[in-house]
Amino acid sequence: MGGVLFSCWNGKVVDNREKKPEEFEPPVEISLPADFFHGKDVKAFMGWGGFVIKDPDVSIVDLCVAFLEKVQEESCGQCIPCRVGTKVMLEMMREISEGKGKKEDLETLKSLGETIRRSSKCTIGQTSPTPIIDALTYYREAFEKAIEGKKKQVAGGETPRFVAKVTAPCMNACPSHLNVPRYVELIKDGRFLDSLEVIRENTCLPGVLGRVCVRPCESNCRRANVDEAISIKHLKRFVADYEREKHHSPKLPKIAAKRDKKVGIVGAGPAGLTCAYYLAEKGYQVTVFERFGEPGGMSAMGIPDYRLPRPILRREVEIIQSMGVEIRYNTMVGRDITMKEIRDEFDAIFIAVGAQGSTSMRVKGEDAGYKGFIPGVKYLMEINQGRDPYPEGEKVVVVGGGNVAIDCVRCSFRIGKEDVNLVYRRTRKEMPADDVEIKDAEEEEVKFHFLCNPTRIIAEDGKVVGVELIKMELGEPDESGRRRPIPVEGSEFIIDTDILVPAIGQAIDLSFIDADTQLDVTRKNTIIVDPETMMTSVEGVFSAGDCVTGPGALVEAAGGGRTVAFRIHQYLSGEPVKRTDDELMEDFFSAVGVYDPKEDIGIIDGRQRRDLKIMPPEKRKYIFDEVESGYPINEAIEEADRCLRCYRIGLVAL
């Protein structure tokens, strides 16, 4: 299919209807993906900002009818303009489509649409009339012909397929696509357990993600265009804590009839646990193999208790187990059971191991076995199991700029180390760690050494006594988009230390995979999967999370686990293993762009975001108690009331 025939998006019109294809101008304000739907071309798109037509055979009238049907389906019914007004619009548009309308209906539709978008409560009503008004303006002749009974017929009589979905900037940004506006609104209405039920439709770890999620949703929150983003993460924590603190029994989904198919999962981290939950919901017999004596994977072994208390994680895993999931602890695949044995016992397998190794700094002395040289992941694992990784040491230097590095320096104070330093080869601005965590580390008086990089380890009698650093300067951006650090010749200097902790990256250990399994892997030792099926090179073996993507955020691993649960269900049910229309629409929305940080919201009554109370640094830096207290009920309701309920609807014609 050629270029765009007509587009009107955010009021910017490009009309190529009277031009030759080679003269077509590209659309403005929108980039329309072509082949997200299993190789099928997108013939047209209608959404919150207008519409785009690529195929001249598409009936704009039918497009409007299908769009308004989705609007009516999604209208919450809480305000009359949207609930009643869009129903009237739909009925009038259907009459026009069937040749029963009147010409005066066209002006009535435009007038009604203007009224609805001015007076509706949320963006379903505020945006949905826009493409209809634009269509009536720029394709009026098509509507007049439909009224006369001369509606355009598709060549060959083929009926186009319409796929529609509701989204929101926050929903689209979330790897699990939680219905954020819905669960936030339920909190505002005081329906806390109902809110948690909505959350569990897409994630089974609300208390965990309510504490350690990296908040991609908040980075795509339209409220930030007014004042500050909604505290979406902490509202999720609030309802999870409310259920636990008030001793409510979890309201879990109805479990489907038990199936005779069994699924084995390697790793009880966020990806494995999430996959287990949604497979159990569908009636599958699920067994999880976990090398440690407790669940959580790197969320338990790598995240300190002051950020994620272990009882919170354990409770959420107990809920998963109550769904019928079996977890075999202290079971290392490759040692206690082989992959071949798992493949023989189970009908499908999900490999969900985390990034539990560390990457090399590539400096002199790194492989000498010096006491006091401890990779970052190992350092945190030891601490999280209640041990001091090196009791003799007092001075600590951590190398790196990510969340693992920040956890290492903050934990060092909490195990009694007084002189704690962080070395990073770029500036604070380029640090990939969560800015909130960096700020907390600064308040706890971690010493930051920016634009420095290790060159060699200094040791005496087999023990680390210092590290030589070289100063760096920033050059041109590299593949990460950050400016490349360049050594400054002759600028070496030494920092005395007893403990050197490299935390520059995590590695995947796939040594448990036996020769019989023969998985295809990348040069970075991550597992190769088909992005459509999530299946590896071995039939019936699926994978997601860190072992596929490389080290990533917990919320991304959880989202991957949920996706694989549905792929395994398709596989074991004998259905085609592929992305659903819903998933394809999410990808489509991401390509189109749902959030516009430059959008003028037009609201001037800014209300301050409610942040959680945090212990003062002089108290918290020496203890592993959770440093933030959750919302009290009144503050949670006030924070939820700041939500703009930014739903919008998109529809494609195929």
Q: Give tens-digit pLDDT for 557-580.
A: 999 999 999 999 999 999 999 999
| Six-digit token string for 477 | 């951006």
What is the distance between the alpha carbons of residues 495 and 458, in angstroms, rounded to a whole number?
A: 10
Residue 619: Cβ within 10 Å count: 10
What is the distance between the alpha carbons of residues 251 and 272, in angstroms, rounded to a whole number?
A: 21
Q: Is 192 helix (H, G, I), strand (E, B) or coil?
A: helix
| Six-digit token string for 150 | 């001369």
Determine the pLDDT at residue 41: 85
Q: Is 438 helix (H, G, I), strand (E, B) or coil?
A: helix
In the predicted structure, residue 440 carries a pLDDT above the cut 60: yes
Is residue 457 within 8 A of residue 497, CB to CB? The reply is: no
Q: E strands of 344-498, at which residues?
A: 348-351, 357-358, 395-399, 419-424, 447-450, 452-460, 463-477, 483-487, 493-496
Is residue 37 included in any domain, yes or no?
Answer: yes
Cα of first residue to Cα of last residue in the chain, in angstroms, is: 12
Sequence-distant (≥ 6) Cβ neighbours of residue 423 within 8 angstroms:
397, 398, 399, 400, 449, 452, 453, 454, 467, 469, 495
Nearest to 182 by CA among 646, 652, 650, 649: 646
Q: Is 483 helix (H, G, I), strand (E, B) or coil?
A: strand
What does the H/E/C string look like for 531-598? CCCCECCCCCEEECCHHHHCCCCHHHHHHHHHHHHHHHHHHHHCCCCCCCHHHHHHHHHHHHCCCCCC
Determine the pLDDT at residue 518: 86
In the predicted structure, residue 35 carries a pLDDT above the cut 70: no
| Six-digit token string for 487 | 């050594």
What is the distance between the alpha carbons of residues 170 and 586, in angstroms, rounded to a whole number?
A: 12
In terms of Cβ atoms closer than 10 Å to its own Cβ (0-12, 13-18, 19+), residue 600 is: exposed
In the predicted structure, residue 601 carries a pLDDT above the cut 70: yes
| Six-digit token string for 532 | 């459509």
- Domain of 108? 6-160
Residue 222 is given by DSSP the state G
Residue type, 239: V
Per-residue pLDDT, averaged over 436-461, amounts to: 97
Q: Is 8 helix (H, G, I), strand (E, B) or coil?
A: strand
C-beta pairs of 529-537 under 8 Å, 24+ apart in sequence: 532/577, 532/578, 532/579, 533/567, 533/571, 533/577, 533/578, 534/560, 534/563, 534/564, 534/567, 535/567, 535/571, 535/577, 536/351
What is the distance between the alpha carbons of residues 100 and 149, in angstroms, rounded to a whole number?
A: 8
User: Of the given ranges (24-38, 388-402, 616-630), which has the lowest mean pLDDT?
Assistant: 24-38
Residue type, 646: C
Is residue 192 included in any domain, yes or no?
Answer: no
Q: What is the mean pLDDT of the chain?
A: 94
Is residue 2 within 8 A of residue 24, CB to CB? The reply is: yes
Residue 11: Cβ within 10 Å count: 11
Q: Is 1 helix (H, G, I), strand (E, B) or coil?
A: coil
Instruction: Count how many residues are written for the chain.
Output: 654
In the predicted structure, residue 183 carries a pLDDT above the cut 90: yes
Is residue 300 included in any domain, yes or no?
Answer: no
Nearest 5°: CA angle at 131, between 127 and 135?
Answer: 155
Is residue 128 within 8 A of residue 86, CB to CB? The reply is: yes
- Residue bearing tokens 């354990």: 314
| Six-digit token string for 139 | 């394709």
Residue 85: which CATH number?
1.20.1440.230
- Residue bearing tokens 């897409």: 202
Percent of the chain residues topping a pLDDT of 90: 88
Cα-to-chain-centroid distance, residue 122: 24
Residue 251 is given by DSSP the state -
| Six-digit token string for 653 | 């014609």
Nearest 5°: CA angle at 126, between 124 and 132?
Answer: 85
180-188 vs 232-245: helix axis angle to the nearest 10? Answer: 60
Residue 454: which CATH number?
3.50.50.60
Q: Is 14 helix (H, G, I), strand (E, B) or coil?
A: strand
What is the distance between the alpha carbons of residues 124 and 294, in angstroms, rounded to a whole number?
A: 45
**Pick from 468, 487, 507: which residue ends a domain?**
507
Nearest to 173 by CA among 238, 230, 123: 230
**Pick from 485, 507, 529: which residue ends a domain?**
507
Is residue 652 included in any domain, yes or no?
Answer: no
In the predicted structure, residue 1 carries a pLDDT above the cut 60: no
Determine the pLDDT at residue 156: 58
**Pick from 129, 160, 191: which residue ends a domain?**
160
What is the distance between the alpha carbons of residues 321 and 459, in angstroms, rounded to a whole number?
A: 48
Residue 364 is given by DSSP the state B
Determine the pLDDT at residue 128: 96
644 band by pLDDT with thresholds 50, 70 and 90 = very high
Tell me the C-alpha to C-alpha distance, in Å, between residue 152 and each of 57, 97, 588: 8, 10, 27
What is the distance between the alpha carbons of residues 542 and 272, in angstroms, rounded to a whole number?
A: 11
112 phi/psi in degrees, rounded to 5: -65, -40
| Six-digit token string for 541 | 């073996």
Is residue 500 included in any domain, yes or no?
Answer: yes
Is residue 37 within 8 A of residue 163, CB to CB? The reply is: yes
Is residue 414 within 8 A of residue 626, CB to CB? The reply is: no
Is residue 405 included in any domain, yes or no?
Answer: yes
CA 206, 210, 212, 214 torsion-angle sign: positive
What is the distance between the alpha carbons of residues 547 and 521, in angstroms, rounded to a whole number?
A: 10
What is the distance between the alpha carbons of residues 559 and 277, in angstroms, rounded to a whole number?
A: 12
Determine the pLDDT at residue 92: 97
pLDDT tens-place string over residues 125-181: 999 999 999 999 999 999 999 999 877 666 555 678 999 999 999 999 999 999 999
Determine the pLDDT at residue 159: 75
Determine the pLDDT at residue 149: 87
Per-residue pLDDT, averaged over 203-220, amounts to: 97
pLDDT tens-place string over residues 507-557: 999 999 988 888 999 999 999 999 999 999 999 999 999 999 999 999 999
Determine the pLDDT at residue 23: 93
pLDDT tens-place string over residues 47-57: 999 999 999 99
Is residue 58 included in any domain, yes or no?
Answer: yes
Sequence-distant (≥ 6) Cβ neighbours of residue 120 within 8 angstroms:
79, 81, 82, 85, 126
pLDDT tens-place string over residues 268-323: 999 999 999 999 999 999 999 999 999 999 899 999 999 999 999 999 999 999 99
Determine the pLDDT at residue 357: 87
Is residue 492 included in any domain, yes or no?
Answer: yes
Is residue 513 within 8 A of residue 526, CB to CB? The reply is: no
637 band by pLDDT with thresholds 50, 70 and 90 = very high
Residue 612 is given by DSSP the state P
Per-residue pLDDT, averaged over 577-599, amounts to: 93
Is residue 565 within 8 A of residue 274, CB to CB? The reply is: yes
Residue type, 325: V
Residue type, 377: V
Residue 193 is given by DSSP the state H
Residue type, 221: C
Report the number of distinct structural domains present in the chain: 2
Nearest to 311 by CA among 323, 321, 296, 328: 296
Q: Is 334 helix (H, G, I), strand (E, B) or coil?
A: coil
